[in-house]
Structure 1
């Protein structure tokens, strides 16, 4: 492992963390942890319930995200299927299950904290993303602060203005925060005229402020990216404000949509809502009311004999309608 994973960062790079879109360099490929052989070993040693296989249709304007089963294929075969098929593999929970990768990820974050006084990365997590040359990820937003460390292949990333109700309404953000929606949000192609577009090359990091809408389309080759996520006190408060707003809307008939303290997560109203959200979660934990999160059913299985690397299960040909699509249809 190299002594310095961040590649020639400037003070301006460190200063942009969580404040705007940042494109900077890293040296993760030099660790040897992202070769085909290393990826196959990682897949074979990883807990099955922490590895997701997805596909997504071929037209980014027509949402058809699907969850599937890896079946009994080896890590080596799965890597090859991703290279030649139409798949997206998400290896989750690296910090808890892969000590070598956990050391790498914590080293990255330690370098960020050392280089940027005031930057705090708590509740760290990381997923490794393997995706086909034709794969894409729909318009969505991540709840924690997300950092995309691109390692192999090429992909295009569209980043939309954060905290702008034209692209993600308060109600949509609230429903994502409480788990009623997955992270996908209603998308209109007209949004793209306001997006910043980046073609990610191997060795580049792209990151943006928390809750920034974005989408991704691969351009070339087997794509490998490390997706790290973290929170700080301000990030946690934003999510608590969203949860509290959702509770107030559903249970008190209030309309806090215009109370847009999300961006700064500061002031007495935001802090009061943080206490409210924590109180609601505590009450639910004591009464056995768990917060359910939307999950896609498994509708396909990986199949090396097929053109795109997967086979739909019998009776699962129709797309799954995601909750945000239902909201879009109603509105």
Structure 2
């Protein structure tokens, strides 16, 4: 089996080169590439794509990713695979893997060869070289969209050619910055067919699960984005989406909260309480601005009470990465993740 590990002096050189490239990128005019007035008008309002220059930073090469995996905190790293479930409404749900004691080069090799999806959570915030680039990314967005302030978090996704991200939504605003490979993103409208309020409400107290019920009939209603390196994508708040990777892929996913996302999440916690305890059937889309604000205030209070108890399930590890096995995956007796 070919190893991707580099000699120590070569690894140091790669890290230095990547840091220099990142520093140059941070001083460059913008990470955005040819952003237009139309993109400013559509940002967060429509499903859209745009161009960026993240690949030029040198922070997403194999050598840079191995270095990143070596120094990233293990509790902020997820190594997952996709597995069938007994519930046809939730296909391809993620399974958590054990990557402890596995060299970073082998984790990357597993992502290239198997059915692995790696989420390097908040990599763009934790490490200074990546943080410099994140600041430039959102500095460019702030300038392009009218001087707004973004408090963005950014993770790096490393995905196998056959990795599938299940049908889900995000609780905050997100932007996907694709860097390497080819992937297809399917995005749906925000309405009761594709993201019922009941499903949205049920996920607000669960920190591990954003999956939504899905049926094959949804496919005819999706907007399809086939992303190439250097393309980014954005869509309206809470738009349901799923992702198919066509090749080995590397992407950056960033999220940020806005007054809209904060108000909506808190108001929907109030709606969940009204639904569960009072037999009402509230719909966020039918509430006016004043009602949403009132419900948001109540929801922020309710969130701190047992009425909105944490429903996060136990994160069970069901497989491990084994470089000696074809495909790199070995099932294990499930146990709770504590690392």
Note whether the superposition's TM-score is higher than 0.5.
yes
- Residue number in structure 2 paired with 1:92: 121
Aligned 8 A contact 1:182 1:295 in 2: no
- Residue number in structure 1 paired with 2:301: 279
1:292 deviation in Å? 4.1
- Residue 211 of structure 2 aligns to a residue in which SS? coil
What RMSD in Å do the two structures reach over aligned CA positions?
Answer: 2.3
- Residue number in structure 2 paired with 1:206: 233
- The 1:248/1:66 distance shift into structure 2, 3 A limit, reads same
1:293 deviation in Å? 2.2
The one-character-per-residue Cα deviations of 1:13-45 (angstroms, maximum 9, x if unpaired) are 122110011101000000010011110111110
Separation (CA, whole Å) in 2 of partners of 1:180 and 1:49? 15
- Residue 260 of structure 1 aligns to a residue in which SS? helix
Separation (CA, whole Å) in 2 of partners of 1:95 and 1:84? 25
- Residue 303 of structure 2 aligns to a residue in which SS? helix
- Residue number in structure 1 paired with 2:327: 308
- Residue number in structure 2 paired with 1:249: 275
From 24, 32, 35, give the equivalent of 1:9. 35
Aligned 8 A contact 2:124 2:156 in 1: no
- Residue number in structure 2 paired with 1:42: 68
Separation (CA, whole Å) in 2 of partners of 1:309 and 1:267? 52
1:139 deviation in Å? 0.5
From 267, 271, 290, give the equivalent of 1:268. 290
Aligned 8 A contact 2:284 2:292 in 1: no
Separation (CA, whole Å) in 2 of partners of 1:207 and 1:108? 14
TM-score, length of structure 1 as denominator length:
0.86
- The 1:72/1:19 distance shift into structure 2, 3 A limit, reads same
1:242 deviation in Å? 1.4
- Residue number in structure 1 paired with 2:182: 154
- The 1:181/1:261 distance shift into structure 2, 3 A limit, reads farther
Alignment of 1:150-299 (within 5 A): 150-162=178-190, 164-179=191-206, 182-220=209-247, 222-256=248-282, 258-261=283-286, 267-283=289-305, 291-299=310-318
Structure 2: which 5+ residue stretches go unaligned?
Answer: 1-23
1:129 deviation in Å? 0.3
Separation (CA, whole Å) in 1 of partners of 2:58 and 2:96? 29
The one-character-per-residue Cα deviations of 1:155-190 (angstroms, maximum 9, x if unpaired) are 11111112x111111100101122187110110011
1:20 aligned to 2:46?
A: yes
- Residue 182 of structure 2 aligns to a residue in which SS? strand
Separation (CA, whole Å) in 2 of partners of 1:211 and 1:177? 12
- Residue 312 of structure 2 aligns to a residue in which SS? coil
1:315 deviation in Å? 6.3
Alignment of 1:47-196 (within 5 A): 47-57=73-83, 62-117=91-146, 119-122=148-151, 124-162=152-190, 164-179=191-206, 182-196=209-223
Aligned 8 A contact 1:261 1:270 in 2: no
TM-score, length of structure 2 as denominator length:
0.84
Separation (CA, whole Å) in 1 of partners of 2:31 and 2:284? 41
Aligned length: 306
Aligned 8 A contact 1:128 1:225 in 2: yes
Separation (CA, whole Å) in 2 of partners of 1:30 and 1:95? 16
The one-character-per-residue Cα deviations of 1:50-72 (angstroms, maximum 9, x if unpaired) are 00000003899833421111121
- The 1:109/1:179 distance shift into structure 2, 3 A limit, reads same
